[in-house]
Amino acid sequence: MYEALPVPYGLVRFGVAPDHPEVKNVIHKFASIAEDARFRFVGNVNIGRDLQFAELKPHYDAIVLSYGAQEDQHLGIPGEESIKNVFSARAFVGWYNGSPEYRNLNPDLTSSDTAVVVGQGNVALDVARTLLSPVDDIARTDITSHAVEALRKSKIKHVHLIGRRGPLQAAFTAKELREMIALPDTKLNIDLNLVHSQIKADAEALAKDRPRRRLMELLIKGATKTFSEEPSKSWTLQFLRSPVELVPHPETNALKAVLLEKNTLQGSPQSPKAVGTGQIEELSTGLLLRSIGYRSVPFRGVPFDSRKGLIPNVKGRVSDEKDSASGLYVSGWLKRGPTGVITATMYDAIETATSIVEDVQAGNLKSQVASKGSDGFESLKDLLKERGANPISFKDWESIDKAEITAGEAKGKPREKIVDVQSMLKIVAAGRAE
């Protein structure tokens, strides 16, 4: 398994919210697979930079591409790329989860009491929960210390989540909504009239859709929750709104406001389209995070469907290949598009693995390795060395893992993630010298 970073686990480490440790338990399963003598982790090797795909291919009988969706969707509105304190949720999440790429993001959480998240999925809710949770609770998780420091100083008390369609079309799920409703000293604002009118308009379909009905009941319960004292914090689900422009402070170029266009819904109630009304309203905010989805990037020499943003495949077999038994497979977000939780990702990994086993059993996989006398990674080692790469083994990762857990113990946390690659490599070097 080739991995660009010295550490394994992808978005389970860098995406999943720090206060959801139970979700990360899947790591134990991954780690037990890594114990198998037939498995090899080759970390700190970026395919496309340290090794080209074409160089890798002759050394393996089968290759599974599973590099996820490394980019995020943009809003495409004026000010998005130039105004300060406007980020993707991916970057913001990566910053608090210790991704080396985003460790220097430095979001300013002090110059405004309001943050805007564009999107109404579970990632948007993760971000809102992190911004509004009591910091002492968050500080006990594996969140990075730099994020805890910034959250302690944070002035953000109000988070608006913007969705272009209505409550029935929101993408978050009941568990995440319940967690938001349970936040202490935090009230939920929604347009209850809109919720009731959508429920009424779509009553027939809702009668057959228990999870969605439950979600609507929860929304109403959350918005009508009573507090003994007026809460100091709030989160607002703004439905039927699309951001159309970001407004900077003229002197500092920091974000001052977002202009939102009101939408109306057209088409079938099951899958309505948001259509702009031309009515614009201004929402003051000092931080904007877009959470509207991810995008996979093509790999040179591999077919790619740029409209769907994935590698075309049939049950994980890359389907554009002229030779149907080319030994090229795909799995994860790259296979079915950047949506779905870990369970869904595991199910389609099983589907891809089943395709490989079937191809082996049917004798369809020509052994390129045997015919070329190659020995997988062993045959690529020298080339990597020549290029100055420093491949990391699973044992090396275990040194990093141990150092993180030890550093976390001192702070009452499960781990303190090491956030830069150089420091990771120093720990590896020390581990190898022992």
Ligand X SMILES: Cc1cc2nc3c(=O)[nH]c(=O)nc-3n(C[C@H](O)[C@H](O)[C@H](O)COP(=O)(O)OP(=O)(O)OC[C@H]3O[C@@H](n4cnc5c(N)ncnc54)[C@H](O)[C@@H]3O)c2cc1C
Helix (H, G, I), strand (E, B) or coil at 404: helix
Nearer to ligand X, 10 or 243 (CB): 10
Catalytic annotation on 199?
A: no
The answer to whether 377 and 38 have CB atoms below 8 angstroms apart is no
Q: Which one of 136, 226, 323, 343 is the catalytic residue? A: 343
Identify the CA nearest to 166 among candidates 196, 188, 186: 196
| Least separation in angstroms between CB 82 and ligand X | 25
Question: Do 332 and 345 meet the contact criterion of CB atoms below 8 Å apart?
Answer: yes
**Contact call for residue 87 and ligand X (CB under 6 A):** no
Q: Cβ 143 to ligand X, closest distance in Å?
A: 13
Tokens at 109, concatenated: 């959480």
Nearer to ligand X (CB atom), residue 248 or residue 337 = 337
Q: Does 95 bind ligand X (CB under 6 A)?
A: no
Q: Look up 126 and say whether it is catalytic.
A: yes
Across the beta sheet with 273-284, what order do the strands follow?
A: 241-248, 255-266, 273-284
Question: Which residue among 21, 25, 39, 48 contacts ligand X (CB under 6 A)?
Answer: 48
Stretch of 11-19, 113-121, 199-207, 304-312 contacting ligand X, by CB under 6 A: 11-19
Strand-pair category, 273-284 with 255-266: antiparallel
Residue 23 binding ligand X, by CB under 6 A: yes
Active site residue 236: no
CA distance 274 to 251: 35
Q: Indicate whether 391 belongs to the interface with ligand X (CB under 6 A).
A: no
Q: Residue with structure tokens 């990597």?
A: 384
Burial (CB < 10 A; 0-12, 13-18, 19+), residue 112, is buried
Position 348 contacts ligand X (CB under 6 A): no
- 4 contributes a contact to ligand X by CB under 6 A: yes
- Determine, following the binding rule CB under 6 A, whether residue 20 of this chain makes contact with ligand X: yes
Q: Taking the CB of residue 339, how many other CB atoms lie within 10 A of it?
A: 12
> At its nearest, how many Å lie between ligand X and the CB of residue 44?
9
* Catalytic hit among 20, 27, 146, 305: 20
Cα–Cα distance measured from residue 195 to residue 167, given in angstroms and rounded to the nearest whole number: 6
| Residue placing its CB nearer to ligand X in the complex, 129 or 187 | 129
- Cβ(352)–Cβ(311) under 8 Å? no
Catalytic residue among 77, 181, 220, 342: 342
Under rule CB under 6 A, residue 353 binds ligand X: no
What residues have CB less than 8 Å from 378, skipping those under 6 apart? none
345 is a contact residue toward ligand X (CB under 6 A): yes
Helices 210-223 + 174-181 axis angle, to 10? 10
Query: Which residues are documented as binding site for FAD?
Result: 3, 11, 47, 333, 340-342
Which of 333, 318, 248, 234 is closest to 288 using CA atoms?
Answer: 248
Residues of this chain, 163-202, that bind ligand X according to CB under 6 A: none
Q: Is 15 in the site for ligand X (CB under 6 A)?
A: yes
Least distance from C-beta 129 to ligand X, angstroms?
Answer: 11
The CB-of-289 to ligand X minimum distance in angstroms stands at 11
Cα distances (Å, whole numbers) of residue 267 to 203, 273, 302:
16, 6, 38
> Is residue 304 a contact point for ligand X (CB under 6 A)?
no
Q: How far apart are the first and last CA of the chain?
A: 25
Taking the complex as a whole, how short is the minimal distance between the CB of residue 339 and ligand X, in angstroms?
Answer: 8
Nearest to 67 by CA among 93, 81, 55, 49: 49
- Residue of the chain from 16, 86, 159, 168 that contacts ligand X (CB under 6 A): 16
The single residue listed with the structure tokens 């509105």 is 77
Stretch that binds ligand X, among 43-51, 113-121, 213-221, 390-398 (CB under 6 A): 43-51
342 included as an active-site residue:
yes
Catalytic residue among 19, 50, 59, 126, which?
126
Q: How many residues bind ligand X (CB under 6 A)?
A: 29
Annotated active-site positions, please? 20, 126, 342-343
Binding site for ligand X (CB under 6 A): 2-5, 10-12, 15-17, 20, 23, 46-48, 66-68, 70, 93, 123, 126, 332-334, 340-342, 345
